[in-house]
Amino acid sequence: MKRVTTPLVWALPAVVTAVLGGWRLTGAALWADELATWGAVRLSWERLWRLADAVDVVLTPYYAGLKAFAVIAGTGTTALRLPSLLAMILTTLVVVALGRRAGGDTAGLGAGLLFAVLPVTSRYAQEARPYALAMLGAALALLALVRLLERPTAGRAALYAAAVAATGLCHPLSGLLMIAGHALAGWRLPRLWPPAALAGSLPALALCLSAAGQSAQISWITLVGAQTVRNLPQQLFASAVVGGLILGLAILGSSTGKALAGAGFVPIVLLLAAGLLTPVWVARYVLITVPALVVLATWSLSRAHLAAVVALAAFLGYPAQLDIREPAGHGQDSARIAAVIRPLYRPGDVAVFPDAHYSIAWAPRDLYQRYLPTPRPPDVLATTGQRLTGRLAARECPDAACLGAPDRIWVIRVDSPADPLQDMTAAKRDRIADGYRIARRWSYPLLGITLLERR
């Protein structure tokens, strides 16, 4: 059989990632976290630094880089997601490089194609958050570690430290977990790896220390339980059956390379263990393990088996590929707000938002501003816009005094409790409850809309 040529080894996986990542890039609406990105990059630099100082310092490097990019590209959905798509294409090339070191061109092509067809690759190639960039940094750091182990030099140690630092700037917790995974192989170089790892970890440590008082941003996370482990393949790979396939093959290949095994499994195990004691487990925090897991999964497969696994993963992942491109494919049907409110809007209507939601109180206003064009019910209670004073949420007039006496009120939420006035201050709640009744309700993923009419 003709040997695979090197140009094809590099080009084909990258093209597949680009095609799948670009396929309906804007199909899913921006969800709450992406709307937070959209809101942050539209701030002035002064207000962005103020926001970072108050609530979002760990994401400030990402926001700053995307804001600089937005000066050229704008803040449309394509522009916001494009850096993630480009990062995922580059990550695919690094996966190819890791695979080639494990087993030559065939292994590199197989690993690259497997990574390219995974639903999680497309999912985070289409996410305006730093996870794709963190995956790229982690893949580069792993490649740098492998090269350092092959030929220990100060120059290679410096490259490793730079890749570690870049990962930590993209996502500090992921960067620190990654370093812990590298220790499984890095201890073999006691004079080079520890100082390089320490130097590379400094940005992540600095960001984590700066964010020590901003734990409210992760107050929604729960402790790890049995269901967490059962859900891990779905949450980590955006498809339970594909995730089970990759994890099973990776476990079979884990005895062949300590660097890959450490990078693939240690961060997951550590975060799960920590999550038993404190609410910190979120699967996307360990997306950095996916490149290593993919290479492990293809480590000892023959050419025929590689082709079969890639085809099987593509086939099994196809339903998930469709799902993540639906309007609510990122978990929030944000754009639906226009289809609900625009046809029923009347001059004189007003919009009201819950202001005490335990997790994402700012999100309803973001989706209202992003997806409900004018004319729309005015946000009569806001006196200062979101993020303009260093807070994520807007400031409202005291005691809802500026509500007035409208005939109809639209209550816009990111959930649909039985009481649409839940999570509102007592004064606002009392003022609305006394004079209005529910006329109609709509409920969609992370979007609840209630129309209230005067009694």
**What are the tens digits of pLDDT across the range 106-149?**
999 999 999 999 999 999 999 999 999 999 999 999 999 999 99
- 348 phi-psi bin (left φ>0, alpha ψ -120 to 50, beta other): left
Domain assignment of residue 1, yes or no = no
Domain assignment of residue 366, yes or no = yes
Percentage of the residues of the chain whose pLDDT score is greater than 70:
98
Higher confidence at residue 391 or residue 77?
A: 77
pLDDT of 307 > 90? The answer is yes
pLDDT given for residue 188 in this prediction = 93
In a shared domain, residues 117 and 258? yes
Of 292, 323, 354, the residue that ends a domain is 323
Of 298, 323, 348, the residue that ends a domain is 323
In a shared domain, residues 347 and 252? no
Higher confidence at residue 218 or residue 329?
A: 329
In a shared domain, residues 74 and 151? yes
Exposure of 296 by Cβ count < 10 A (0-12 exposed, 13-18 middle, 19+ buried)?
buried
In a shared domain, residues 90 and 127? yes
Q: What is the number of H-type helices and E-type strands within the chain?
A: 18, 6
Percentage of the residues of the chain whose pLDDT score is greater than 90:
88
In a shared domain, residues 310 and 444? no
Higher confidence at residue 20 or residue 5?
A: 20
> CB-based contacts of 354: which residues, under 8 Å, 6+ apart?
361, 364, 411, 413, 421, 422, 423, 424
Instruction: Give the confidence band of 299 by pLDDT, cuts at 50, 70, 90.
Output: confident
In a shared domain, residues 76 and 38? yes
pLDDT given for residue 3 in this prediction = 57
In a shared domain, residues 243 and 340? no
Instruction: Give the confidence band of 392 by pLDDT, cuts at 50, 70, 90.
Output: confident
pLDDT given for residue 154 in this prediction = 97
Of 323, 355, 372, the residue that ends a domain is 323
Question: What does the pLDDT average to over 154-180?
Answer: 98
pLDDT given for residue 355 in this prediction = 80
**For the chain, what is the domain count?**
2
pLDDT of 197 > 50? The answer is yes
pLDDT of 224 > 80? The answer is yes
Question: What does the pLDDT average to over 87-98?
Answer: 98
Tens-place pLDDT, residues 415-434: 999 999 999 989 999 999 99
pLDDT given for residue 247 in this prediction = 97
> Position of tokens 């693939």?
264
pLDDT given for residue 1 in this prediction = 38
pLDDT given for residue 199 in this prediction = 98
Domain assignment of residue 328, yes or no = no
- Give the single-character DSSP code of 394: P
User: From residue 384, how far is each of 49, 150, 161, 388 by CA, in Å?
Assistant: 18, 57, 43, 7
Range of the domain at 158: 6-323
Cβ contact 320:119 at 8 Å: yes
In a shared domain, residues 210 and 342? no
- Model pTM? 0.96
In a shared domain, residues 199 and 340? no
Cα-Cα-Cα-Cα dihedral sign, residues 295, 297, 303, 309: negative
pLDDT of 340 > 90? The answer is yes
Tens-place pLDDT, residues 22-43: 999 999 999 999 999 999 999 9
Question: What does the pLDDT average to over 385-410?
Answer: 92
pLDDT of 371 > 70? The answer is yes
Higher confidence at residue 132 or residue 218?
A: 132
In a shared domain, residues 162 and 310? yes
Instruction: Give the confidence band of 217 by pLDDT, cuts at 50, 70, 90.
Output: low
pLDDT of 103 > 90? The answer is no
pLDDT of 389 > 70? The answer is yes
pLDDT given for residue 259 in this prediction = 95
In a shared domain, residues 95 and 213? yes
Domain assignment of residue 413, yes or no = yes
